């Protein structure tokens, strides 16, 4: 029988995944799970695709902020337009580090710019712009297109789960509508199974059947405790497998616990500075929980034969 996870090195991590899938499917040691209960959820940035030196969607937003600042001189001295135009990426890194440390003072400033960047356009127009960007833009240091920055081992895992009757969902702090245009092609996850952050939307009737417009106001940020809420709202179930890579994924990983059926928690560790990036910033609390609660830590360096 062909190896369903050829990009994973043999070892405890791969064994844990294979053992879980066998038990969930019913291997003779138990009844297994009903197909409807085989729900797996995955963070996206840093879990399914590369998030350094900045999240891919942030690059998309920064380019739009620069366009806005070039057209409106008043924006040039306001954050986040100022940092975007001056390529002060340290400002954005600081804001995200503060967020993961529990300080969202500057997140509100960043969010205002993010919401304004693509406010006032239809959802179809946004999807078209996002897809065009993802197909054309290249990673600033890896020398590959953004659609080539998905992690091969994780794509294999998604396929392995789907082949065993699992329904895979993306549950990301990134924008839901940014990921949807390419989720099926890249991950074989259809757009209706993408759960992510969202701006407010408004419907306007017209002679073409109506238009849904993006409003420059937040709907929700799908991070931290909001992730379990959105999972339940969409699926009506606790997942039995969750994969993440940061402190913001802790509640989602916690929510995967079951008393009467198998479950698996995966935490991706970025410890391969040669093939990808090496960092633990924003994941310190998650790594502590992985040790105390016996989560399965996925080492990029040791567990993956290839990354991309």
Mean pLDDT by 10 residues, the chain (308 residues): 94 97 79 93 98 94 95 94 92 84 86 91 97 97 97 98 97 97 98 97 95 94 96 97 97 96 97 97 96 97 98
Domains of the chain: 12-49+147-303 (3.40.50.1000), 56-117 (no CATH)
20 vs 16: CA distance, rounded Å: 6
Beta pairing, strands 278-279 & 264-271: antiparallel
**DSSP state letter for 290:** H
How many residues belong to the chain?
308
The confidence score (pLDDT) of residue 28 equals 60
What pLDDT is recorded for position 102?
82
- Exposure string (b/e) for 21-36, b if CB count within 10 Å is 16 or more? bbbbbeeeeeebbeee
What is the pTM assigned to this prediction? 0.93
Q: What is the 3-state composition of the chain as percent helix, strand, coil, each rounded to the nearest 5?
A: 45, 20, 35
Residues near 50 by Cβ (< 8 Å), separated by ≥ 6?
Answer: 56, 139, 142, 149, 151, 276, 277
DSSP for residue 75:
G
Q: Return all residues near 118 (Cβ < 8 A) that are at least 6 apart.
A: 61, 64, 126, 129, 199, 214
- Distance in angstroms (rounded) separating the CA atoms of residues 220 and 116: 15
Give the pLDDT of residue 29. 63
């Amino acid at each position: 029988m062909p190896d369903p996870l050829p990009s994973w090195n043999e070892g405890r991590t791969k064994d844990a995944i294979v053992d879980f899938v066998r038990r969930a499917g019913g291997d003779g040691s138990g009844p297994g799970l009903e197909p409807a209960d085989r729900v797996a959820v995955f963070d996206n940035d840093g879990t399914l695709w590369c998030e350094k030196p900045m999240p891919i969607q942030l690059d998309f937003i920064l380019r739009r902020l620069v366009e806005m600042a070039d057209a409106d001189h008043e924006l040039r001295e306001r954050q986040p337009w100022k940092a975007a135009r001056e390529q002060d990426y340290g400002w954005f890194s600081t804001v995200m580090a503060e967020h993961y440390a529990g300080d969202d003072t500057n997140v509100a400033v960043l969010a205002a710019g993010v919401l304004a960047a693509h406010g006032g356009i239809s959802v179809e127009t946004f999807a078209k712009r996002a897809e065009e960007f993802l197909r054309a833009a290249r990673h600033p240091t890896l020398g590959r297109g953004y659609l080539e920055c998905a992690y091969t081992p994780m794509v294999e895992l998604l396929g392995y789960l789907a082949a065993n009757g699992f329904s895979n969902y993306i549950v990301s702090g990134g924008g839901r509508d940014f990921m949807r245009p390419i989720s099926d092609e890249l991950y074989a996850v259809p757009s209706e199974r993408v759960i992510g952050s969202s701006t407010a939307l408004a419907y306007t009737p017209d002679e073409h059947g109506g238009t849904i417009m993006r409003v420059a106001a937040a709907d929700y940020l799908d991070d931290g405790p909001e992730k379990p809420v959105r999972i339940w709202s969409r699926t009506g179930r606790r997942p039995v497998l969750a994969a993440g890579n940061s402190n913001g994924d802790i509640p989602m990983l916690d929510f995967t616990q079951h008393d009467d059926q198998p479950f698996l928690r995966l935490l991706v560790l970025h410890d391969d500075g040669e093939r990808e990036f090496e960092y633990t910033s924003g994941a310190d609390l998650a790594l502590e929980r992985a040790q105390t609660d016996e989560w399965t830590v996925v080492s990029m360096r040791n567990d993956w034969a290839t990354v991309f």
